[in-house]
Amino acid sequence: MSVDFIYPEFEVVRNDSRCIACRVCERQCANEVHSFDPKQGSILSDERKCVNCQRCVSLCPTRALKIVKSNCTLRENANWKDDTIKEVYKQAASGGVLLSSMGNPKEFPVYWDKILINASQVTNPSIDPLREPMETRVFLGKKPDRITRDQNGNIRCKLPPQLELSMPVMFSAMSYGSISYNAHASLARAATELGICYNTGEGGLHEDFYAYGPNTIVQVASGRFGVHKDYLDAGAAIEIKMGQGAKPGIGGHLPGAKIIGDVSRTRMVPEGSDAISPAPHHDIYSIEDLRQLVYSLKEATQYQKPIIVKVAAVHNIAAIASGVARSGADIIAIDGFRGGTGAAPTRIRDNVGIPIELALAAVDQRLRDEGIRNNVSLVAGGSIRCASDVVKAIALGADACYIATAALLALGCHLCRTCQSGKCNWGIATQRPELVKRLNPDMGAQRLVNLLTAWKHEIKELLGGMGINSIEALKGNRLMLRGIGLNEKELEILGISHAGE
Amino acid sequence: MLIDVKNMDHRELNDRIRDAQEDCVITNCCGQRFIAVGMSGKHITIEGVPGNALGAYLGGASVTVLSNAQDAVGDTMNDGEIVIHGNVGDAAGYAMRGGSIYVKGNAGYRAGIHMKAYREKKPVMVIGGRAGSFLGEYQAGGLILVLGLRCDGRKIVSYFPCTGMHGGKMILRSDCKDVVFPTQVSCHPATAEDLAEIREYVENFCRKFSMDTETIMDAPFTVITPNSSNPYRQMYVAN
């Protein structure tokens, strides 16, 4: 019906003087925007289908293409914005729940951008990382409160299981199914080369990737897809997914259309059948119940691996983390509300949860106040975008960070936010073989290694500037941070002073 | 091999089972959790009441409990067999993907929740008595069979069975006139084919608990299957 007509969001601008009708754009677009008109000998575009993934723009050999935001707009209205109105039209036409991909794009404060890092001047010499050793290695897991000695006076060296990382960054959970085989291969290889970990997400572990086990975190979520003894044994750590920053409080739902071939085999569900992860774990109603799942996994793997509990950053996150820290978990991963997703209801993604910066600061402080900070390591995720975000997170109390969107960008993602369609032209969020092969795992892995190698250098530079030579010495060192343009309450929660103080 | 587990914690208990070269009989069991988790190739008999998460992630092991068991029996079980000569608590067979669970008595809430099947793996749970609410919630595969023995006039299954069911099959030994099912499933009286399918499991049940197959089979059975394996397909609109 015409009332539902929404003018296309983007326009395809083709420079006819440059276009040579080579039809690359037509072949590259899984959304079928471009088509060749044999009568005219020229390329036509159907911009209604365009998602602005920039694939055609990037591959056009004559730079004849650009995608621009349409300037056909509804009458300006600060309350009823374009998106808001169009969402009403979509729902009125379909009766469906709005489904979006990737992280919350709305204008909420990004606290990382309102925090500044310190540097040494005069009194405390800075360190040149090119000349002096810098320790970026971290060990995640429960740490003993004190040193104990045996009867001969020797220090007892047996620690609870630890996850060793060459730098305080890991690739966070993205399931095989939500992303492609080649994306997983890239992550697994890069994690191995970098000496960090990637995370299977709740999609099981493809048999080809068992070889990367020492650099793999295997996830157990409410649907228990692909979980069995060998899977648990394969990883360096096991993550219990209680929540995800992009969609706290709800489960996951991989449509049957994406459960094909290897994805079906890895998840161990029949082809074409939906893979539904219920919102809660139906055996967890309390911290005591969580403890039961933690210990059943520890028992099953004979206490050889640290157990991570991943929770979304929500209002009472400090109290929740305090409970989790007493559940026997070795590591708590907190996922902020700007965290990415392959698909989440728009309303949940854009309105539920709290920023990771505030959640992390609140949790670290609470665990310190209660004297249980050493019970667990903290991993912060939910939009860590660059090396300075990592440094700020560590100074706020994180032991390490999870990144995912940044990793996908390294693989070629252009953040068009239509992962749910399964037609990712960059071969990342798709299972179509002809699209998957566009992502070369050798190049993908190399680009991820490049990215994090660069971040590692930057982290060292920032540390050196502060006169600090190890991640450990920065952890929770909030004196190294100052707020800019933040109110008293925000500064209080972040536990930092204002710039100039 | 007899293992007396009085006052023994679960960690030591499991180590003893792993170290044992022969079949194990565990005596004086009193609430120890996680017994036999992830184990394969073991035959374990338990005297006393085991705690939660008995046989979680079970591989090919077989576990027999001579009395009741508690919550989360066979959580994410992959293979093997668990036999309970009493009642079980809540969430028995949560997400089990293979193997079988036989319960002589009743089951608590959420038995068989998110049970799934895959290729040659088809989990089977047989409950001799009644089942609590939310039986087979999110069931995605496998077979849940409830025999309703000793119902004493009460319903064979309590409230909200099969909510979110999108695969597998549930068979209840009842005409189910008093049971309310959600709209996303269909029910029909068991056909000869259905009855042939369950006979093997009823025979196993009767062998384990010394009952008569024909007496049990001689009753109305109702078969419940989901209408769609994609129940939520229409719910979303891309944004």
Domain range list for chain A: 2-73, 138-142+159-464
| ipTM for the complex shown | 0.93
Nearest CA of chain A to the CA of B190: how many Å? 24
Nearest CA of chain B to the CA of A280: how many Å? 12
Q: Which residues of B touch A227 (CB under 8 A)?
A: 57, 76, 95
Please compute the mean of the pLDDT values over residues A321-336 and round it to a whole number.
Answer: 98
Is B60 in CB contact (< 8 Å) with chain A?
Answer: no
pLDDT-derived band at A253, boundaries 50, 70, 90 = confident
| Of B228, B108, B115, B225, residue with least CA distance to B157 | B108
| Helix H or strand E segment including A459 | helix A441-465
Which residues partner with B56 through β-bridges?
none
Domain B94-231 belongs in CATH node 3.40.50.2000? no
Mean pLDDT is lowest, of A26-30, A145-149, A439-443, for: A145-149
In the block, which residue shows the tokens 């650099």? A215
- The confidence score (pLDDT) of residue B228 equals 81
| Of A448, A334, A429, A436, residue with least CA distance to A101 | A429
The greatest distance separating any two alpha carbons of chain B, rounded to the nearest whole angstrom, comes to 62
Q: Which residues of A touch B116 (CB under 8 A)?
A: 268-269
Residue A437 to residues A53, A357, A363, A441, Cα–Cα distance (Å) = 17, 37, 42, 9
Closest-approach residue (CA) in chain A for B59: A229
Q: Which residues in chain B show pLDDT less than 50?
A: none
- The confidence score (pLDDT) of residue A1 equals 56
What are the pLDDT digits (tens) for A212-221?
999 999 999 9
CA–CA separation, A71 and A69 (whole Å)? 6
Domain A2-73 belongs in CATH node 3.30.70.20? yes
Nearest CB neighbour to B239, from listed A100, A269, A295: A100
User: Please, which residues 347-406 of chain A have a Cβ atom closer than 8 Å to chain B?
Assistant: none
Tell me the two tokens of residue A142. Answer: 């429960």
Asked whether the beta carbons of residue A223 and residue B34 sit closer than 8 angstroms, the reply is no
- Percent of chain A past pLDDT 90, that is, above it, reads 88
- The confidence score (pLDDT) of residue B222 equals 97
Interface test with B, best of A97, A263, A268 (most B CBs within 10 A): A268
Nearest CB neighbour to A274, from listed B72, B94, B230: B230
Closest-approach residue (CA) in chain A for B73: A283
Asked whether the beta carbons of residue B114 and residue A300 sit closer than 8 angstroms, the reply is no
Q: Residue A359: which residues within 8 A CB-CB, separation 6 or more?
A: A313, A317, A318, A334, A336
The verdict on pTM exceeding 0.90 is: yes
DSSP A300-341: HTTT-S-EEEEEE--TTHHHHHHHHHTTT-SEEEEE-TT---
- Pairing relationship of beta strands A237-241 and A216-220 according to DSSP bridges: parallel
Is A232 in CB contact (< 8 Å) with chain B?
Answer: yes
- The confidence score (pLDDT) of residue A78 equals 94
Domain A138-142+159-464 belongs in CATH node 3.20.20.70? yes
Asked whether the beta carbons of residue A94 and residue B237 sit closer than 8 angstroms, the reply is yes
- Pairing relationship of beta strands A331-335 and A377-381 according to DSSP bridges: parallel
Amino acid occupying residue B10: H
∠ CA B112-B114-B117, nearest 5°, is 90
CA–CA separation, A318 and A316 (whole Å)? 6
